[in-house]
Amino acid sequence: MAGIDRRGQLVYRGPHVSVRFKLNRRGVQGVALSWEVGQACHDWASHKAKPYAIRISPRTKKTDKKHYADSFEVRRVLIGAPPVEKIIGRPPMVRAGAILINTAPYAAAVEYGEKRAHHQQKSHRVLGKTLARFRRPVKPSRQL
C-alpha cells in the first residue's frame, strides 16, 4: 500500500507547521457514549423539544381528565446499532441520546387520528411537528 501515510491525512500545511488528522474510531465512540454527551442530549430534549411539544399539544375541555400535554417524558437511550462488543468498525456507531415520548394511553390516537364509523378525529402529529421544528438540514462538509 504505497502512498498511505500512517501518521494521518494532511489537513493543513503552513510555512511553519503541518497538521495531520488520523481518525480514531474507538476514541470517537468513547466520546459518543460518554455521560456528558447523553446529558447534553437529555438537557436539550428537556429544555427545547419538550416545552415546544407541550405548547402545541391539544387540550381537553374536561377538568377531570389528564391533558395529553401532561404526559411527555424524556428518556436516555442508545442510538444506532444494537450494543455489541465489536461494533467499532461499522458505520452505524452506537451513541448516547435522548427521546421525547408521550406516555398517555391514547397517544397514538392523538398523534395519528382515530377513525370510527360515526366520528373522525383529526391527527395532531405533535411529536412529528416537534421533530420538524428542530430538524436542521445537514450541511455538506467543507472540502480542502
- Output the pLDDT for position 1: 45
End-to-end CA distance of the chain: 23
Q: Give, for 73, the enclosing helix (H) or strand (E).
A: strand 72-79
pLDDT tens for 31-55 read 989 999 999 999 999 999 999 999 9
Question: How far apart are alpha carbons 77 and 8 in whole angstroms?
Answer: 33
- The pTM (predicted TM-score) of the whole model is 0.68
Higher pLDDT, 83 or 26: 26
In this predicted structure, the answer to whether residue 144 has a pLDDT above a threshold of 50 is no
Share of the chain above pLDDT 70, in %: 74
